[in-house]
Amino acid sequence: MHIAILTFDGFNELDSLIAYGMLSRISLLGDRDWRVSIASPTPRVTSMNGLTIDAHIDLQQACAADAVLIGSGRKTREVADTPEIMAQLQFDPARQLLGAQCSGTFLLARLGLLGDAPACTDATSKPWVQAAGVNLVNQAFYANGNIATAGGCLAAQYLSAWFLARLKSSEAAREVLHNFAPVGEKDDYVARAFAHIEASL
């Protein structure tokens, strides 16, 4: 099982790295066939706050993954207006799980993958995601079939839990959420996350 997290220059650290940490926990629990990769169009990318990281794979390899999560960032509109990048993003929701967070929803829209289904984004991205014709809903998470979107940096937990539940099991998703949750709030934290995602499983 291979999950690719699309991470472009100017990326939001929370979107990409919370998901990376949570989704990678499965391999730490002993599943050697589970792999999570940061995918970028260049070997290295720098975040909106100056953190530079190395990519594990390129975009072509990401398109072959079992699941793809598109993070957000300050340069998402530049990415959407770069034909050389967009042409590489060939996804198939019939065989892949696809998720997007905040401005990443805009890329799914530009790829023609959202249709009229409801979708989520953050307050900053909302005006231009709406202008792209996306049917936005004022909530943290929404899934339609094999495509899910989330709005707000800390909604990364919901998107990650959805991927875990769909690709592994609800029990695995609960275990990872419980592990990451603040001490003294673990049961409430897991219950809240599943209240968001359970209907889509």
pLDDT tens for each residue of 10-19 = 999 999 999 9
Give me the sign of the Cα torsion angle 175, 177, 183, 185. Answer: negative
Q: What residue segments make up the domains of the chain, in order of their start?
A: 2-200
CATH architecture of residue range(s) 2-200 = 3-Layer(aba) Sandwich (3.40)
Q: Is the pLDDT of residue 27 over 90?
A: no
For residue 177, is pLDDT > 80? yes
Q: Is the pLDDT of residue 6 over 90?
A: yes
Check: CB of residue 3 under 8 Å from CB of residue 56.
no
CA angle 29, 151, 72 (to 5 degrees): 75
Residue 8 pLDDT exceeds 90: yes
Instruction: Say if residues 8 and 76 touch (Cβ distance below 8 Å).
Output: yes
The model's pTM = 0.95
* Helix, strand, or coil (residue 158): helix
Q: Convert the pLDDT of each residue in 109-165 to its tens digit.
A: 999 999 899 999 999 999 999 999 999 999 999 999 999 999 999 999 999 999 999
The pLDDT of residue 151 is 97
pLDDT in tens, 67-108: 999 999 999 999 999 999 999 999 999 999 999 999 999 999
The predicted structure's pLDDT at residue 201: 85
Spell out a b/e string for 129-154, using b for 16 or more CB atoms within 10 Å of the CB, else e: beebebebeeebbbbeebbbbbbbbe
